[in-house]
Amino acid sequence: MTDNPIIPDFGGPKADAPKADKPKGAKAVAEAAPAASGEAKPRKMVFIASKGNLDMAYPALIMANAALGEGVETHIFFTFWGFDLVTERTMDHLKFSMLGNTAMHLPQVPKMPIPQLLGALPGVTAGTTLYMKKTLDKLEIPSVREMLDIIVASGGHLWGCKLSFDMNGLSEDDLYDGVEAVISATDFIELSEGAQVIFV
């Protein structure tokens, strides 16, 4: 875990875990990409969060947290169902469903797939959601709201998609406080100029 209390290193090696040897030539810290003029430019990363399932909420949030820990300018753009991550009425109630997840298996038994048909049974989505939340809690991974609080406190920027905002019939009062603005696709293209863009 990092010494910085604001930016925990989720998924990092435990204190008692053996350190892996770095391959020859590996660099400890990612460096800024050189500009056309030869000068190093500060790194910028933009994550597009497009899905509203509990399991799909975390990739963008954890990578954004890691980027901030490395001093990278970080933005998250919430669009379509990803807007549920920053909508007050849904952000604390995200679900994990087995339906449509062809890789679904028990974590302890990776070679034993779970039939997707089970996901259609009453109560299964609630059960798998509860199981995932307990697993995340055991690993000391914060809730989606807490992760967003950490990202905002660490200097990350959150943006909502105007089209998704209008499609969902939302108002500014419906949004998580950390969302800086609701912007158009054109605004997003300008915002992401020169950034690494990661779509989740």
Q: How far apart are CA 155 and CA 152, in angstroms?
A: 5
Residue recorded with tokens 């609630």: 126
What's the order of all strands across the beta sheet hosting 196-199?
179-183, 157-161, 73-78, 44-49, 196-199
Same domain, 169 and 117: no
In a domain, 20, yes or no: no
Q: What is the mean pLDDT of residues 135-145?
A: 82
Is residue 160 included in any domain, yes or no? Answer: yes
More confident site: 144 or 132: 144
Residue 55: band (very low, low, confident or very high) from pLDDT cuts 50, 70, 90: confident
- The arithmetic mean of pLDDT across residues 95-101, rounded, is 66
Say if CB 48 and CB 79 are below 8 A apart. Answer: yes
> 30: pLDDT confidence band, cut at 50, 70 and 90?
very low
Q: Is the dihedral of CA 90, 124, 62, 188 positive or negative?
A: negative
Which residue's entry shows tokens 């809690």?
A: 137
Question: Average model confidence (pLDDT) for the chain?
Answer: 76
Q: Is residue 147 part of a domain?
A: yes
pLDDT, tens digit (0-9, with 9 covering 90-100), for 169-198: 888 888 889 898 999 988 988 888 888 788
Number of structural domains (the chain) is 2
71 lies in the same domain as 88: yes
Residues 127 and 63 both lie in one domain: no
146: pLDDT strictly greater than 60? yes
pLDDT given at position 196: 79
pLDDT in tens, 35-48: 455 566 678 999 99
**Is the same domain home to 102 and 191?**
no
Considering the domain architecture, whether residues 188 and 101 belong to the same structural domain is answered as no
Q: Residue 53 and residue 64: Cα distance in Å, rounded?
A: 18
pLDDT score of 148: 93
Find the domain containing 131 and state its range: 97-142
Listed residue (95, 81, 98, 88) closest to 148, CA to CA:
88
In this structure, are 151 and 193 located in the same domain? yes
Does residue 192 share a domain with residue 149?
yes
Q: Of the segments 22-31, 112-121, 175-184, which one has the largest average pLDDT value?
A: 175-184
Q: Is residue 63 part of a domain?
A: yes
Query: Would you say residue 177 lies in a domain?
Result: yes
Mean per-residue pLDDT for 151-169?
Answer: 91
